[in-house]
Structures are given as structure tokens and as C-alpha cells.
Amino acid sequence: MRYLQGDPDAAPSQIAAATGLQRTNLSAVLKALEKKGLVERHSGRTDDARGVQVHLTDAGRANYTTVRGEWGHTVRAAADGDTTNLDAAVTLLTTIRNGLTRMRPSGPPPSP
């Protein structure tokens, strides 16, 4: 859902690569979100009918906003409302996110 906020017209392969999910796992997630009315799948922008684009619905946008608001309240309460180091925390968390993204394997996972 977070990825679709920045790219509301994304192919499943883009979402999988950006989130680090395997395509089969992403497919299950998308089916569940679709069933709840939070996303829709449409034919892609190309002439290739096999191409699919995933779109947030209005309900999906509203749900995401609600969840982010609740998460913000929870984090604020956990920090006792202390925002003195908020900029440093955001910078560190962004660095961590970017580092984890860079560390993702680019190919299929190794066989067990």
C-alpha cells in the first residue's frame, strides 16, 4: 500500500522489486487487498493484454491515511510525545531503509 502511494499505476513486478516480496507472495497480497476493495488490477498501458497495472482505490487511499494516522499516534505515545530528535530519527530510519533496499538480492532466493 505504501509503494502505491508514490506510484499509483504500478505493475506487479515493480511492486515486488520495490518491496522485496517474491511474485507469488505479492500475488496473494494483491488478491487479499483486491477482495477488500483497496486495490484494483487493470490491463496495462501497453498493447500487450497480459500486462497488468495495480491501482489504489479511493477506499485504499482512505484506509492508508487512517492506518498512517493511527501509527503516528502510537509512535508519538511510545516516545512520550518527545520530538526533540525527530529529524535525526527520520534521517537514520531513511538511511536504514535505503541500506536494506540495496542489500536485497536481485535474483531468485537460493534453494534450501
Q: Quickly state the pLDDT bin for 74 (edges 50, 70, 90).
A: very high
Pick from 62, 70, 39: nearest CA to 52: 39
pLDDT score recorded for residue 17: 85
pLDDT higher than threshold 70 for residue 46 = no
pLDDT higher than threshold 60 for residue 89 = yes
SS3 state at 61: helix
Q: Quickly state the pLDDT bin for 59 (edges 50, 70, 90).
A: very high
Parent domain of 36: 2-80
The 3-class SS string of 65-80 reads: HHHHHHHHHHHHHHCC
pLDDT score recorded for residue 7: 83
CATH number for the domain spanning 65: value is: 1.10.10.10
Asked, for residue 92, whether it belongs to a domain, the answer is no
d(CA 69, CA 79): 15
DSSP 8-state assignment for residue 11: -
pLDDT score recorded for residue 41: 92
User: How many domains does the chain fold into?
Assistant: 1
pLDDT higher than threshold 70 for residue 2 = yes
Q: pLDDT over 70 for what percent of the chain?
A: 88
Q: What is the pTM of this model?
A: 0.73
Asked, for residue 56, whether it belongs to a domain, the answer is yes
Asked, for residue 21, whether it belongs to a domain, the answer is yes
